[in-house]
């Protein structure tokens, strides 16, 4: 079941007439009320000076450049980690670092973060300084291991910290205690962008570039990478993140982007000139992530680092092939997960546990995060998918629903059941954990109990928030384009969604699992196309149906050079009596 709730603005909008009435309504529904709040110019970025730990981090980096130290960037194996690693390596090289390299742990051998094991691997390269990107805030043992070897560590991260922080030489993380940075939603790549932009300013103040005959880089040149990582990591798009994404998208659309990003756009079948944030999240991000999920994120990072377009394209093709393989594995695992639920006689949603834990011994560790997302979306309850991690342990990937902070829930389970969870970390909506395979059933019960303690039954029903009904005159190509241009839309700042009833003129399945509709606007002779992705083939098409209720996004469809408005359906239901 899904309920549709129409949004109402929290306060009265005071926009000027330069913003069309429909957009005023949409912005007001998202808490914006004035023209200035939708101005996404770079001058409105929050100042880096408010980031706690910035000064000692800059001292470390300036010393490393002055002394030409060996710098090793240690990243995470997802898209945020890949973009963070690439941005840091590229920017440090442009800033004058002669000896900088990167290392990404193989998720199947080392797991997440700066572990003692990955420090041992890093030590073989004899670094003077390790910079973690998109990880490190929970790496107490790894940082201690580096300290024992005389390697200084600069932690840059955005994940929530535990009660104890690592003994790093410097930590830059907007979520660490005492940090006054106003936006707590920076992705790892956003933290890296801020730090390196501040470093460029500090070096300019020291006449670093002039004294060495170097040209100071324009840090805005890295906004294409920052935008990709920010959207792909599904962090909330508060105003600061929307500025980063909007400015990065503007550069990509103008063709001023990395060869690797251009190549990823091409293999994904998109066009640079009309790319939107959703393309970063649903087309480019998954191709980067596929490398870290199935093999090694090195391919994704090398694609972003590539200067030669031919090399970038070749790597993008490899990433696309990996993504196709990932889709096949994910599809099989999803069917197996649904079968597992049926075997437990949990056919009706009302009978499901409130906190779902699913597991099979043959599931792929790199794909369980996507699987958890799919099952969470289908049954609308917190979900953890587990896969074998070797040596009697399971690796779990958790995804949550609004109102259930998954990282805090795991912390509560760990507190109530000491020793049950080997380790965990994450965000409000996504987390990872490890536990002994023998403890799975006990964990299932504890996790379900925590879900029942924190959730209400009505929260287990999916809810979509609509901006209301569109008038017939508003369902056209200019309005669809206007909505695309009014973003960037994404997590925490959702793309406009509308709802209403339509006449069904034609319905058919395309691409094996998508429902293509031709619908008539009530009371007129106008017809518009609609598409519903991944429909329940047992329910659709619906023979004889004359009227349908849709919750939809108004978008632009481009086919063989012809552009037209299209309804992208988020929810559909037959109209009773139609």
- Res. 296 pLDDT band, cuts 50 70 90: confident
Asked whether residue 334 is domain-assigned, the answer is no
Alpha helices in 188-308 (DSSP H): 188-205, 208-211, 223-232, 239-253, 259-267, 277-279, 285-294, 298-305
Q: What average pLDDT does this structure show over 44-48? A: 97
**Strand pairing partners for 528?**
519
Which H, E and C letters describe 528-545, residue by residue?
EEEEECCCCCCCCCCCCC
Q: Which range of residues forms the domain containing residue 388?
A: 344-460
- If asked whether residues 139 and 156 sit together in one domain, one would say yes
454 vs 538 pLDDT, higher one: 454
> What number is the average pLDDT over the span 267-283?
95
pLDDT for the residue numbered 347: 47
**Which pLDDT score is estimated for 108?**
65
Q: What is the DSSP letter of 328?
A: H
Tell me, yes or no, whether 40 lies in a domain: no
Task: Please tell me the chain's helix, strand, coil percentages from 3-state DSSP, rounded to the nearest 5.
Answer: 45, 20, 35
pLDDT recorded at residue 578: 54
pTM, whole model, 2 decimals?
0.90
In a domain, 337, yes or no: no
Are both 68 and 186 inside the same structural domain?
yes
Q: What is the pLDDT of residues 183-242, one digit of tens each?
A: 999 999 999 999 999 999 999 999 999 999 999 999 999 999 999 999 999 899 999 999
Given a cut of 90, whether residue 123 has pLDDT beyond it is yes
Which pLDDT value is given to residue 245?
Answer: 98
pLDDT at 577 over 80: no
Range with the poorest average pLDDT among 223-237, 258-272, 287-301, 445-459: 287-301
Higher pLDDT, 522 or 499: 499
Q: Which of 260, 286, 320 is at the close of a domain?
A: 320
With beta carbons less than 8 A apart as the criterion, state whether 328 and 108 touch.
no
- Gap between the Cα atoms of 236 and 169, Å rounded: 29
6 burial via Cβ count (<10 Å: 0-12, 13-18, 19+): middle
Cα(242)–Cα(490) distance, integer angstroms: 9
Confidence of residue 576 (pLDDT cuts 50, 70, 90): confident
Residue 236 resides in a domain: yes
CB atoms within 10 A of CB 10: 11
pLDDT over threshold 90, residue 351: no
Q: What percentage of the chain exceeds 90 in pLDDT?
A: 82
Q: Of 128-137, 173-182, 537-546, which gets the smallest average pLDDT?
A: 537-546
37 lies in some domain? no
| CATH code, 176 | 3.90.1640.30
**Do 245 and 380 lie in a common domain?**
no
Question: Does 286 reside within a domain?
Answer: yes
Mean per-residue pLDDT, 355-369: 93
Confidence of residue 125 (pLDDT cuts 50, 70, 90): very high
Of 416, 434, 460, which residue constitutes the final position of a domain? 460
Structural domain ending residue among the three candidates 460, 493, 509: 460
Residues 275 and 293 in one domain: yes
């Amino acid at each position: 079941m899904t309920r549709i709730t129409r949004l109402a603005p929290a306060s009265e909008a005071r926009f000027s007439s330069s913003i069309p009435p429909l957009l005023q309504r949409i912005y007001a529904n998202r808490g914006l009320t004035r023209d200035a709040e939708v101005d996404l110019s770079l001058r409105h970025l929050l100042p880096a000076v408010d980031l706690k730990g910035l000064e000692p981090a800059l001292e470390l980096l300036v010393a490393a450049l002055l002394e030409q130290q060996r710098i090793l960037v240690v990243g995470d194996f997802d898209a945020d980690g890949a973009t963070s690693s690439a941005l840091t390596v590229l920017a440090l090289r442009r800033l004058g670092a002669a000896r900088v390299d990167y290392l990404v742990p193989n998720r199947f051998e080392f797991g997440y973060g700066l572990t003692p094991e990955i420090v041992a691997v890093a030590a073989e390269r004899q670094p003077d300084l390790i910079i973690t990107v998109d990880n490190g805030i929970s790496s107490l043992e790894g940082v201690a291991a580096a300290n024992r070897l005389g390697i200084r560590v600069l932690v840059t991260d955005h994940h929530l910290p535990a009660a104890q922080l690592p003994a790093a030489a410097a930590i830059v993380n907007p979520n660490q205690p005492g940090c006054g940075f106003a936006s707590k939603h920076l992705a790892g790549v956003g933290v890296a962008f801020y730090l390196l932009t501040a470093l460029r300013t500090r070096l300019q103040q020291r006449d670093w570039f002039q004294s060495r005959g170097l040209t100071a880089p324009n840090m805005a040149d890295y906004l294409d990478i920052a935008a990709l990582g920010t959207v792909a990591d599904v962090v909330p798009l508060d105003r600061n993140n929307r500025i980063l994404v909007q400015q990065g998208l503007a550069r990509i659309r103008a063709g001023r982007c990395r060869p690797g990003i251009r190549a990823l756009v091409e293999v994904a079948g998109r066009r640079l000139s009309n790319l939107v944030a959703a393309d970063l999240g649903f087309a480019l991000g998954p191709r980067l992530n596929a490398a870290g999920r199935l093999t090694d994120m090195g391919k994704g990072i090398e694609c972003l680092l590539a200067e030669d377009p031919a090399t970038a394209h070749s790597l993008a093709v490899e990433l696309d092939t990996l993504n196709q393989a990932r889709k096949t594995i994910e599809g099989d695992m999803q069917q197996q997960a649904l079968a597992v639920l049926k075997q437990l006689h949990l056919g009706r949603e009302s009978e499901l546990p409130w906190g779902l834990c699913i597991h099979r011994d043959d599931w792929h560790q790199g794909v369980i995060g996507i699987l958890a997302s799919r099952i969470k979306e289908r049954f609308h309850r917190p979900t953890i998918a587990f896969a074998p991690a070797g040596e009697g342990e399971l690796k779990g990937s958790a995804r949550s629903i609004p109102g259930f902070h998954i990282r805090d829930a795991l912390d509560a389970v760990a507190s109530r059941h000491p020793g049950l969870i080997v380790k965990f970390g994450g965000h409000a909506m996504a987390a990872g954990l490890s536990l002994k395979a023998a403890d799975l059933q006990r964990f299932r019960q504890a996790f379900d109990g925590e879900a029942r303690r924190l959730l209400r039954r009505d929260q287990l029903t999916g809810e979509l928030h609509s901006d209301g009904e569109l008038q017939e005159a508003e369902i056209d190509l200019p309005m669809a384009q206007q909505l695309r241009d009014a973003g960037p839309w994404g997590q925490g700042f959702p793309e406009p969604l509308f709802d209403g009833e339509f006449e069904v003129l034609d319905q058919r399945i395309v691409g094996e699992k998508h429902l293509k509709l031709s619908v008539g606007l009530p009371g007129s002779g106008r017809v518009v196309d609609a598409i519903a992705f991944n429909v329940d083939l047992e329910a659709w098409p619906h023979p004889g149906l004359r009227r349908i209720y849709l919750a939809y996004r108004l978008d632009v469809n481009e086919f063989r050079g012809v552009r037209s408005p299209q309804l992208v359906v988020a929810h559909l239901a037959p109209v009773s009596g139609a």
